[in-house]
């Protein structure tokens, strides 16, 4: 029985599990959002929040504790310099889990584990959103610009291919008087 046993084993020994938690927490701090399974996200979320709390403290001992767990000076520097100051007024709850559905290969339930920071989330969305419409908007004028260049060719083809115009030409060729009146005017 697992009474009073906290945490998940995730099918790994303790050293592998600790390395997994360190890497996932470091990736979350570095990128702000990671895609992982529900079980891993639930296991890493408290650890990542604890690292952000160390970053909020900001003293030397906290920096050494974070470095001992995360094992990357670059990630620790980003934690203390960029990430933690954004959460200085927030008492806790620095990360959230958003379910995104099953993974195609094995149907494992996938989630986004992301930092809860309105400015950060809006910035990330703004970076993604304008790029896609701008790319589409640029592609459309190019497509529109090509027909503009092709319009003289299209104009040349339209009278020959347009059936009503061809019928009127045929009628004038037959000698009807109304088209002759148009020619005189």
Q: What is the pLDDT of residue 159?
A: 52
pLDDT of residue 117: 81
Amino acid 143: pLDDT: 47
CA angle 152, 163, 182 (to 5 degrees): 85
* Alpha-carbon gap, residue 131 to 84, rounded angstroms: 28
* Residue 17: other Cβ atoms inside 10 A: 16
Question: 148 and 110 in one domain?
Answer: no
Residue among 132, 109, 121, 127 nearest 35 (CA)? 109
Q: Give the domain-ending residue among 116, 146, 168.
A: 116
Kindly state whether residue 122 falls inside one of the protein's structural domains.
Answer: no
CA dihedral 129, 131, 136, 139 (to 10 degrees): 170
Final residue in a domain of this structure, among 116, 145, 171: 116
- Residue 93's domain comprises 14-116
Domain co-membership, 71 together with 32: yes
**Both ends of the chain: CA-CA distance in Å?**
103
Q: Is the pTM of this model over 0.75?
A: no
**E strand or H helix at 32:** none
The owner of tokens 């109304």 is 178
147 and 107 together in one domain: no
CA distances from 88 to 17, 83, 91, 113, 152 (A): 30, 9, 8, 20, 64
Same domain, yes or no: 99 and 26 = yes
Predicted pLDDT at 122? 64
Identify the H or E element spanning 74: helix 73-78
pLDDT, position 127: 73
Number of domains in the chain: 2
Per-residue pLDDT of the chain (185 residues; tens, 9 = 90+): 989 888 899 999 999 999 999 999 999 999 999 999 999 999 999 999 999 999 999 999 999 999 999 999 999 999 999 999 999 999 999 999 999 999 999 999 999 999 998 666 666 667 767 555 554 555 555 545 455 454 555 445 555 555 555 455 554 445 555 555 555 54
Q: In this structure, are strands 33-37 and 109-115 parallel, antiparallel, or unpaired?
A: antiparallel
Domain assignment present for 81: yes
Please tell me the predicted confidence (pLDDT) of residue 153. 55
Distance from C-alpha of 76 to C-alpha of 70, rounded to nearest angstrom: 7
Residue 84 contacts by C-beta under 8 Å, 6 or more apart in sequence? 52, 54, 55, 56, 58
pLDDT tens string 50-100: 999 999 999 999 999 999 999 999 999 999 999 999 999 999 999 999 999
Q: Is the domain of 48 the same as that of 97? A: yes
């Amino acid at each position: 029985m697992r009474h009073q046993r906290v945490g998940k084993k995730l099918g790994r020994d303790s050293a592998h599990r600790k390395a997994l938690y360190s890497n996932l927490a470091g990736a979350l701090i570095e990128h702000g959002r990671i895609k992982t399974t529900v079980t891993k996200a639930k296991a890493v979320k408290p650890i990542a929040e604890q690292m952000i709390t160390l970053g909020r403290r900001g003293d030397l001992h906290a920096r050494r504790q974070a470095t001992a767990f995360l094992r990357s000076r670059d990630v620790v520097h980003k934690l203390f310099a960029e990430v933690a100051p954004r959460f200085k007024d927030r008492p806790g709850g620095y990360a959230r889990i958003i379910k995104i559905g099953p993974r195609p290969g094995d149907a494992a339930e996938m989630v986004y584990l992301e930092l809860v920071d309105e400015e950060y989330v809006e910035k990330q969305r703004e970076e993604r959103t304008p790029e896609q419409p701008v790319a589409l908007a640029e592609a459309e004028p190019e497509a529109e610009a090509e027909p503009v260049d092709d319009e003289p060719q299209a104009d040349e083809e339209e009278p020959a291919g347009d059936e009503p115009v061809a019928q009127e030409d045929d009628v004038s060729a037959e000698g009807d008087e109304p088209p002759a009146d148009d020619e005189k005017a």
